[in-house]
Amino acid sequence: MCHTPKISETSNSELTKMQASSLIQKGTVLHQQGKFVEAQVIYKQILKSQPDHFDALQLLGVLFAQIKKYPEAIKYLSKALKINPNHAGSYSNRGIALKKLKQFDEALISFDQAIEINPDYTNAHYNRGNTLMELKLFEEALVSYNQAIKIEPNYEDAYYNRGNTLMELKLFDEALKSYDQAIEINPEHVETHYNRGNTLMELKLFDKALKSYDQAIEINPDHIEAYNNRGNTLKALNCHDEALNSYDQAIKINPGYPEAYNNRGNTLKELKQFDKALINYNQAIAIDPDYADAYFNKSTLLILRGDYEEGWQLYEWRWKQKHNSNSRRSFKQPLWLGIEPLISKTLLITIEQGFGDYIQFIRYALLVEHLEAKVVLEVPLSLIKLTSTLKGNFIFVESGKPLPDFDYYCPVASLPLAFKTSVETIPATVPYLFVDEVKKQQWNKRLGKQGATRVGLVWTGNPDHKNDHNRSLLLKQFSSLLTLPFEFHSLQKDTRAVDSQTIIDFPNIYHHQEELQDFSDTAALIDAMDIIISVDTSVAHLAGAMGQKLCLLLPYVPDFRWMIDRDDSPWYPFAKIYRQEKINGWDTVIEKLKTDLLENINIAS
């Protein structure tokens, strides 16, 4: 922040020096009292007779920065530095004004000049860090905040912004420590409690996050963002009614707050109150017609309900979401969404999102080829051997490698829109992915002669998935199933520490983590099974794409692709869906599955 430096005296004559000194003191008092107009008059009065009066110049520069007239601030501070080029405070204050004008490179130069003059200038280090944050140079910003803290160990703002920087670097545990240090210095800093809650949310420590949001609200009862994120925390804890109350409080404070309506819609969706959820998404969009998250959430709800026409169109809003880590690539070639003819043209299908999405939607490459187009498939490394089993004349390019020439491109999850997909026209011919014969023989040799029925098992997905706490299970929740006289094989590449004791307790589960080098190995292991039991993961998609018998276990409100109120999937004809009848109701799902297995019901009906 700008500060009023100590006053030095500059003059051409003794009388003028005394008069100017008196006026400077008077102007400084008015300045400190916030009487900026009166102080400005006095500073300019001095400069009228003494244009090179350093104190008047730099104090006027500080004053203009305080009233947000940053060009004028830079003008006067620059003049002051011509007179005294060794004044660190003027460099620092000029840097602040330059930063406010988003002239970040020039601001950094100014802060560096201040630090060169005074290496222990705490504010210069701190504001240098703030500028680097604006430039998204987070690691460099961290160095500046650390230096400011080293000089001034109780620098609250430096700890707070250091925490923000660590959040950007996804070093959440370290960010939490930094926020805690800021709170120890100042327990009443509301934004520290708020961002501490955000950090705990990232760590999925929802109960602790709730306490931080409550603390922020206690300090500032009108903190709408804290109410909003408190609602998100309660939703994650499946306390949906309380979450709705928290969003309602945010809306009460600010009826024009679209984020609360959007999140309210998400909560109502999880309660299967779909009509009310749509009303809330539409309200968010009415407030902010460019609100990408609301459009995207509306799209997934529409697709979930089978309204594919509008749903796939709105699904394109995913590219405009602020927190979408899969931003659409920028090519000189145009985007293809099904309009232009592709005869004798080359279409590049690009990767996006997760492995499951890629496996599900890559089936459309076969339809593109039927349009008499040449097809280039960009493929993640772990999928390239598997994808090469597609029965078509495709060019496969590993992600990150140079691309051949092409005429159009289409992200893989935009293909349903490009082909105007409806529920009735889903291309559901399976299998479309196959087992490599060499891998098949290798895995059959590893597994040996089959005795009991072989069941492939997947109980957890990617822990970083935003809905993982709803879609994944603990292995011990399968305990009753694991007593059946089957041979169970884990299809998971990784297992979690929380499942380690259950793994010991059930030695009839065979684990193959070391042998699963990529998805072609997973495909061969799937092929060796009689049936697959899986939660909503990429392995479930792979089993479905291979035409394997699949028992898919889904939460109360599943991902949009699985639709609602049906025990089959139009995407995967050999899948049978087992759905929760209530939130967190996995016990009945497992028991129903166990009954079906015991009765030897043909699950792939």
Residue 605 has pLDDT above 50, yes or no: no
Per-residue pLDDT tens digits for 170-218: 999 999 999 999 999 999 999 999 999 999 999 999 999 999 999 999 9
Cis peptide before 431 (omega within 30 of 0): yes
Integer CA distances (angstroms), 113 to 49, 155, 399, in order: 30, 22, 44
pLDDT band for position 14 (cuts 50, 70, 90): very low
Choose between 585 and 48: higher pLDDT.
585
- For the chain, domains (ranges, CATH) are 346-425 (3.40.50), 437-598 (3.40.50.2000)
Choose between 578 and 42: higher pLDDT.
578
Residue 3 has pLDDT above 80, yes or no: no
Facing residues of 531 across strands? 455
φ, ψ of residue 199 to 5 degrees: the values are -65, -45
- Residues with Cβ within 8 Å of 331's Cβ and at least 6 positions away in sequence, in order, are 348, 409
Q: Which of 189, 232, 196, 191 is nearest to 211 (CA)?
A: 196
Residue where the block lists tokens 């931080």: 212
- CA dihedral sign, ordered 69, 72, 75, 78: negative
Choose between 127 and 29: higher pLDDT.
127
Beta carbons of 43 and 63 less than 8 angstroms apart:
yes
Measured CA to CA, the distance from residue 583 to residue 203 in angstroms comes to 22
Q: What is the pLDDT of residue 16?
A: 62
Residue 500 has pLDDT above 90, yes or no: no
The tokens for 517 are: 């080098």
Q: What is the pLDDT of residue 604?
A: 37
Mean pLDDT of 534-542: 96
Beta carbons of 546 and 435 less than 8 angstroms apart:
yes
Pairing state of beta strands 531-535 and 454-458?
A: parallel
Measured CA to CA, the distance from residue 363 to residue 416 in angstroms comes to 10
Residue 50 has pLDDT above 70, yes or no: yes
CA 270 to chain centroid, in Å, comes to 20
Residue where the block lists tokens 């070093």: 171
Per-residue pLDDT tens digits for 328-350: 788 999 999 999 999 999 999 99
Measured CA to CA, the distance from residue 16 to residue 358 in angstroms comes to 79
Q: How many residues are listed for the chain in this entry?
A: 605
Q: Where are the beta strands (DSSP E) in 227-322?
A: none
Residue 244 has pLDDT above 90, yes or no: yes
φ, ψ of residue 248 to 5 degrees: the values are -60, -35
Residue 4 has pLDDT above 60, yes or no: no
pLDDT band for position 494 (cuts 50, 70, 90): confident
Burial of 55 (0-12, 13-18, 19+ CB in 10 A): buried
Residue 467 has pLDDT above 70, yes or no: yes
pLDDT band for position 159 (cuts 50, 70, 90): very high
Measured CA to CA, the distance from residue 54 to residue 50 in angstroms comes to 9
Instruction: Please compute, for residue 393, the number of CA atoms within 13 A of its CA located in the half-sphere on the CB side.
Output: 7
Choose between 350 and 468: higher pLDDT.
350
Mean pLDDT of 499-519: 88
Measured CA to CA, the distance from residue 458 to residue 193 in angstroms comes to 38
- Residues with Cβ within 8 Å of 46's Cβ and at least 6 positions away in sequence, in order, are 20, 23, 24, 27, 53, 56
Measured CA to CA, the distance from residue 47 to residue 40 in angstroms comes to 11
Per-residue pLDDT tens digits for 263-280: 999 999 999 999 999 999
Question: Which helix or strand (DSSP H or E) is residue 455 part of?
Answer: strand 454-458
Measured CA to CA, the distance from residue 159 to residue 144 in angstroms comes to 11
Instruction: Identify the weakest region by mean pLDDT among 53-57, 204-208, 319-323, 464-468.
Output: 464-468
Mean pLDDT of 424-452: 93
pLDDT mean across residues, the chain:
91
Q: Which residue type sits at 234?
A: L
Residue 20 has pLDDT above 90, yes or no: no
Q: What is the pLDDT of residue 45?
A: 80
pLDDT band for position 498 (cuts 50, 70, 90): confident
Mean pLDDT of 46-70: 85
Q: Which of 321, 416, 402 is nearest to 361 (CA)?
A: 416
Q: What is the pLDDT of residue 189?
A: 96
Taking only Cα atoms into account, the Rg of the chain, rounded to an integer number of angstroms, comes to 31
Residue 1 has pLDDT above 50, yes or no: no
Per-residue pLDDT tens digits for 303-313: 999 999 999 99
Q: What is the pLDDT of residue 267?
A: 97
Q: Three-state secondary structure along 344-391? A: CCEEEEECCCCHHHHHHHCCHHHHHHHCCCEEEEEECHHHHHHHCCCC
Per-residue pLDDT tens digits for 512-534: 988 999 999 999 999 999 999 99
Beta carbons of 485 and 577 less than 8 angstroms apart:
no
Per-residue pLDDT tens digits for 80-130: 899 899 999 999 999 999 999 999 999 999 999 999 999 999 999 999 999
Q: What is the pLDDT of residue 330?
A: 86
Mean pLDDT of 48-67: 85
Q: What is the pLDDT of residue 56?
A: 83
Q: What is the pLDDT of residue 8?
A: 37
Instruction: Please compute, for residue 465, the number of CA atoms within 13 A of its CA located in the half-sphere on the CB side.
Output: 18
Query: For residues 552-578, b (16+ Cβ closer than 10 Å) or e, as one string?
Result: bbbbbbbbbbbbeeeeebbbbebbbbb
Instruction: Please compute, for residue 412, the number of CA atoms within 13 A of its CA located in the half-sphere on the CB side.
Output: 22
Percent of the chain with pLDDT over 90: 77
pLDDT band for position 326 (cuts 50, 70, 90): low
Choose between 56 and 186: higher pLDDT.
186
Question: Which helix or strand (DSSP H or E) is residue 510 part of?
Answer: strand 509-510
The tokens for 151 are: 């000089």
Residue 535 has pLDDT above 50, yes or no: yes
